[in-house]
Structure 1
Amino acid sequence: MRLALYTGIILAGGYAGLSPALAADPTGDWRVADGVANIRVAQCNGSMWGAVSWEKQPGGRDEYNPDASKKSRPTLGMATLIDMKKKPGAEQWEGQVYNAKDGQLYSATITPVGTDQLEIKGCVMGFLCGGETWTRVGPPIPLSTANAMAKSAPRSTGAAPKPQGTAPQATTGATAPAPAAPKAAGAAKPGQKSAADPVGDICLLPEIAGFAH
């Protein structure tokens, strides 16, 4: 049985030059095998999660969900990879996958293959297994404020240091202020919201942020 899942972020070129050190990193944006969408994968609360971040045909709805209250929910931003835990001693994560094509949950694993492919396999009750290979379209996503597992840096207890090199005031008037530094240009960091990215950090999506661990 072939899993055909929705996914997403706007396609942003190739990433063939990624370092081999990133080979086992499943985070980032992945195009599904049939090309209809991309899945954004990020580490949230110690597990890997995936959500639809872009659709070839915008406006998709979860019409095959057996829960009538969810049939009208948008597929964009919907969780597809659910609470996937790393397997000890293996570069593989296992949990559940939601297949929007039939509205069913499957036991599943994801396994990075090199730097630009992700194998996903799902099974129903341990049999009727199938899978497909996704292709990377976005770089790995660093831990954000929302999903960082590292402890916060300790707060300073001392007073903030005074700025150095302040120009003295002239006796005949105030010194003209230095020109402000220009704002940095460029897109938002991967996984963060920007004007062109309607999904942003998937760890902030209610379905993922509110998951009971």
Structure 2
Amino acid sequence: MRLAIYTGIILAGGYAGLTPALAADPTGDWRVADGVANIRVAQCNDSMWGAVSWEKQPGGRDENNPDVSKKNRPTLGMATLINMKKTPGAEQWEGQVYNAKDGQMYSATITPNGTDQLEIKGCVLGFLCGGETWTRVGPPIPPSTANAMAKGPPKTTGAAPKSAPAPAAAAPAPTAAAPKSAAAAKPGQKGATDPVGDICLLPEIAGFAH
């Protein structure tokens, strides 16, 4: 499994429908080298975080992590951009990037370049400090109070059970409707086509942020 590419190399392409007004927004899904993975970037509290949101070859493991307890953790949903803070006076965020090739953290910056590219600069290859570029494959993700503050699933209200028993024949309906809503899931919404969903709620990120 070529996990090193999670730190990114230049790719061509873009995401249709974006406007110049979004040029400075680093959130959304970004494609790394050779099309083997997407990184989802979102604002969690006051920081930018990135996590693997899709893999061309499912089932990857963080096998090069020096921490034995993490060697078997799935790379899907794994944080790659760590706690990146906005640089004052610049459209740039500074923090750390996790390099799955050697299981090490390196200082890095991310800078949007137009609407469809995100520049990653830092020691991302372990032995070579330079710059890489990711290409947008998903739209920006708006900030969410739930994303930033939630520590667990929302609690249900007491009104729902009263109305639920009324339509007895309607019970099977949600099963048939579920695939439709999953197929329409947008970045940041968990579903059958998006197993990662809101990265701010991933334990690794939520635990750090709170």
Name the residue aligned to 1:5.
6
What SS does structure 2 have at the residue aligned with 1:5? helix
User: How far apart, CA to CA, are the structure 2 residues paired with 1:15 and 1:96?
Assistant: 26
Distance of aligned partners of 1:212 and 1:25 in 2 relative to their CA distance in 1, 3 Å threshold: closer
User: How far apart, CA to CA, are the structure 1 residues paired with 2:26 and 2:123?
Assistant: 20
Letter in 2 for 1:206: P
User: How far apart, CA to CA, are the structure 2 residues paired with 1:46 and 1:5?
Assistant: 23
What SS does structure 1 have at the residue aligned with 2:130? strand
1:199 corresponds to 2:200: no
Contact in 2 for aligned 1:146/1:203 (Cα 8 Å): no
1:42 corresponds to 2:38: no
User: How far apart, CA to CA, are the structure 1 residues paired with 2:72 and 2:102?
Assistant: 15
Bigger radius of gyration? 1
CA drift of 1:128 comes to: 4.1
Name the residue aligned to 2:58.
58
Q: Which runs of 5+ in 2 are unaligned?
A: 150-176
Kindly, what percent of the aligned residue pairs are identical? 88
TM normalised by structure 1 equals 0.73
CA drift of 1:32 comes to: 0.7
User: How far apart, CA to CA, are the structure 2 residues paired with 1:146 and 1:78?
Assistant: 20
What SS does structure 2 have at the residue aligned with 1:34? helix
Structure 1 ranges of 4+ moved more than 2 A? 144-149, 183-186
Letter in 2 for 1:97: V
Name the residue aligned to 2:104.
104
What SS does structure 2 have at the residue aligned with 1:65? coil
Instruction: List aligned pairs for 1:1-213, cutoff 5 A.
Output: 4-5=5-6, 14-123=14-123, 128-148=128-148, 187-211=184-208
What SS does structure 2 have at the residue aligned with 1:58? coil
Letter in 1 for 2:200: C
**Higher-helix-fraction structure:** 2
What SS does structure 2 have at the residue aligned with 1:147? helix
Distance of aligned partners of 1:113 and 1:138 in 2 relative to their CA distance in 1, 3 Å threshold: same
User: How far apart, CA to CA, are the structure 2 residues paired with 1:118 and 1:187?
Assistant: 25
**Cα RMSD after superposing both structures:** 2.4
User: How far apart, CA to CA, are the structure 2 residues paired with 1:64 and 1:93?
Assistant: 27
TM normalised by structure 2 equals 0.74
Contact in 2 for aligned 1:64/1:101 (Cα 8 Å): yes
Q: Which runs of 5+ in 1 are unaligned?
A: 8-12, 150-182
What SS does structure 2 have at the residue aligned with 1:140? coil
Measured against aligned partners, the alpha-carbon deviations of 1:35-67 in whole angstroms (never above 9, x if no partner) come to 210000000011000000001111100000000
Contact in 2 for aligned 1:43/1:49 (Cα 8 Å): yes
Letter in 1 for 2:106: Y
CA drift of 1:76 comes to: 0.3
Distance of aligned partners of 1:6 and 1:192 in 2 relative to their CA distance in 1, 3 Å threshold: farther
Contact in 1 for aligned 2:120/2:134 (Cα 8 Å): yes
